Chains A and B, each alone.
Chain A
């Protein structure tokens, strides 16, 4: 957690902020989903309440909270209550383990008369050396929530939906795991930060033992692992139970699947869990195949120089305005004054915007695909998972291993 009080409190606040960020993105995503679906289907969507229908979210939230809590008879009470919480935890933990920007290096500084040593804050809830293994492990706990919800509801549609969801998740986990092996072979690490570091700069690879650089392309994983990226994206759609793989919730057959009997805030928590999984999946897609927080053709030094220039340009203005404040003017001016630490924080935020743009793009792809492609039939789903994607993922793994071996051998 940290060596002193400052580091520990910053890390705790960081955890809370990233969790709240995940939860607060959900209403916006619901809005994007509804407006986006309306846009795709040539409808209007919610546009009455507030500008562009944005306050619809607020109304929905109020409705979720104040709705009557209804629990059917003969449910297993404890599991029925626990399931929504369980669905939220894996998504939050998985999203927290993914770096959302470059780490912030803080030099030694003094605050309120006490000096604090140099720190390094990772831009994620917690940093684990085995990043990807942890994320896969934690998100593989997702099916429990569905199983608990489905079984405890005492409803045949719920149970059928839960069993379907679970079988689907397990089937596609294999293809998901195997599609990542190519990436792991390529970068030789489990650590997200190292993966992103390996994707900086222009496209740079070994061609029969000679180093080749293609300056007009960024060094992103998608150029090495196109097949892996496609399999990963497809498997992730199945894992998050989104159309075209939303068999667990097929309205025409199962009412609403495993959360048929849920209402109000518990239902909302299932939603947050689902969208949290989508966010984690989008972030993983960005980290593996699209350079994470990397901005193409721009290095961290460039951004830092730009932020420093900007900071120094507005520094006189800020300090002058701050010094006008009564009583606290001088200390406020000192607090707002420009320093290298603030440049580091600003740089991290610039890269965070880049990462978030990528995440939002993939979240839009989720919405886009949902309202474009119709649902699979169940046997088609299983055939696709076991007979198409698994062999292709295996093929990708083997080909990647062989190609890496041949290309990295010194032939001369």
Chain B
């Protein structure tokens, strides 16, 4: 067995364990830390799959920026009341049960839809590394997927403007 295969399964197991820990954990800050570890391990899974650029971007964007913000914001709040109100009551029970149903549906759907990929995997797996370099990725983004890419950019701009607008409504320290 190749050592990268071993590493892949080991890291995937770690990812799954910590992803489970995110959901199971009692303390929101710990949940956020587990999610951060999940993100970092996922980046290293990408490294093992030789998608280096995706791995680097995963590290910078998700592990380095998004999750740091999550952790930081969670630390600023004292989330005791919210936790209780979320873990008790008929409404939240209904939400929980229904989300379990949604999740199982999602997993079943993903397995069902991706069963075709197993046969496609043999053809997708290219040995000469075409489509794995940053340049190839950039070419794809700026030719075939330019519309979706630009739309995403616009969406992010809208979110940024919206966030500024929301935070300025009641005045802040800088108002």
Task: State the A residues within 8 Å of B (CB).
Answer: 79, 128-130, 133-134, 136-138, 140-141, 143-144, 147-148, 150-151, 159, 162-163, 166-167, 169-170, 173, 177, 190, 379
A-B contact pairs, 15 of them (CB 8 A): A79-B33, A130-B52, A130-B134, A134-B52, A137-B58, A137-B59, A138-B59, A140-B60, A147-B68, A147-B71, A148-B33, A166-B68, A167-B72, A190-B53, A379-B173
Could you say which of A130, A151, A159, A167 contacts B53, with CB atoms under 8 Å apart?
A: A130
Question: A147 with B72: in contact, given A130-B53, A137-B60, A141-B40 (CB under 8 Å)?
Answer: yes
**Residue of chain A at shortest CB distance from B72:** A166
Closest to B52 in A: A130
Interface residue from B36, B65, B72, B174 paired with A163 (Cβ < 8 Å): B72
Closest chain-B Cβ to A153's Cβ sits at a distance in Å of 12
CA distance A148 to B173 in the complex (A): 26
Alpha-carbon distance A151/B68, docked complex (angstroms): 13
Query: Considering the chains assembled together, what is the distance between the CA atoms of A140 and B58 in angstroms?
Result: 11
Q: Is the CB of B52 within 8 A of A144?
A: no
Judge whether B43 and A151 touch: CB under 8 Å: no
Name A150's closest neighbour in chain B (CB-CB): B75
Q: Which of A79, A128, A140, A148 is the one whose CB lies under 8 Å from B64?
A: A140
B63 contacts chain A at the CB level, 8 A cutoff: yes
Q: What separation, in Å, do the CA atoms of A128 and B46 have in the docked complex?
A: 13
Instruction: Please determine whether A136 and B75 come into contact, CB atoms closer than 8 angstroms.
Output: no
Residues of B within 8 A of A136 (CB): 56, 59-60, 64
**For the complex of A and B, 3 pairs with smallest distance between CB atoms:** A140-B64, A137-B59, A133-B56
Which residues of A have CB within 8 Å of B76?
A: 163
Quote the shortest CB–CB distance from B67 to chain A (angstroms): 8
Q: Is the CB of B56 within 8 A of A170?
A: no
A137 contacts across to B, CB distance below 8 A: 43, 55-60, 63-64
User: Interface residues of B toward A: which range?
Assistant: 20 to 34
CB pair B60 A177 closer than 8 Å: yes
Interface string of B36-66 (1 = CB under 8 A from A): 1000100100000000110111111001110
Q: How far is the CB of A60 from chain B (nearest CB, A)?
A: 32
Partner among A134, A148, A163, A167 whose Cβ is within 8 Å of the Cβ of B56: A134
| B148, CB-defined interface residue at 8 Å | no
Most buried by A among B58, B59, B64, B72: B64
Q: Of the candidates A128, A150, A167, A379, which one forms a contact with B174 in the assembled complex, judged by CB atoms under 8 Å apart?
A: A379
Chain B residues near A177: list those with CB within 8 A. 60
| CB pair B75 A163 closer than 8 Å | yes
Q: Give the shortest distance, in Å, between A156 (CB) and chain B (any CB).
A: 12
Residues of B near A140 (CB, < 8 A) are 59-60, 63-65, 68
- Cβ of B11 within 8 Å of any chain A Cβ, yes or no, is no
Partner of A170, one of B57, B59, B65, B134: B65
A315 to chain B, nearest CB (A): 42
Q: For residues 100 through 155 of chain B, which have their beta carbon under 8 Å from a beta carbon of chain A?
A: 134
Judged by a CB distance under 8 angstroms, whether B69 is at the interface is: yes
Among B75, B76, B173, the most chain A Cβ lie within 10 Å of the Cβ of B75
Q: Which of A130, A151, A170, A379 contacts B75 (CB 8 A)?
A: A151
- Other-chain residue from A79, A141, A150, A173 in contact with B59 (beta carbon distance below 8 A): A141
B29 in contact (CB, < 8 A): yes
B52, B57, B60, B71: residue with the most chain A Cβ atoms closer than 10 Å: B60
* Complex contacts, B68 vs chain A, CB 8 Å: 140, 143-144, 147, 166, 169-170
* New A-B contacts (15) at CB < 8 Å, excluding given A163-B72, A379-B173: A129-B52, A130-B53, A130-B134, A133-B52, A134-B55, A137-B55, A137-B59, A137-B60, A140-B59, A141-B64, A143-B68, A148-B33, A151-B75, A169-B68, A173-B65
Chain B residue with Cβ nearest A166: B72
Complex-state Cα separation, A140 to B57, whole angstroms: 11
Query: How far apart are the CA atoms of A249 and B64 in the complex, in Å?
Result: 22
Contacts of B55 in A (CB 8 A): 130, 134, 137
Q: What distance in Å separates the Cβ of B65 from its nearest Cβ neighbour in chain A? A: 6
Chain B residues near A128 (CB, 8 Å)?
52
Q: Which residue of the partner chain B has the closest CB to A188?
A: B135
Choice from B43, B71, B173 contacting A144 with Cβ under 8 Å = B71
A136 to B59, CA, bound (A): 8
Closest CB in chain A relative to B139 CB, distance in Å: 14
Q: Which residues of chain A come closer than 8 Å to B71, judged between CB atoms? A: 144, 147, 166
Chain A, residue nearest B134 (CB): A190
Closest CB in chain A relative to B61 CB, distance in Å? 9
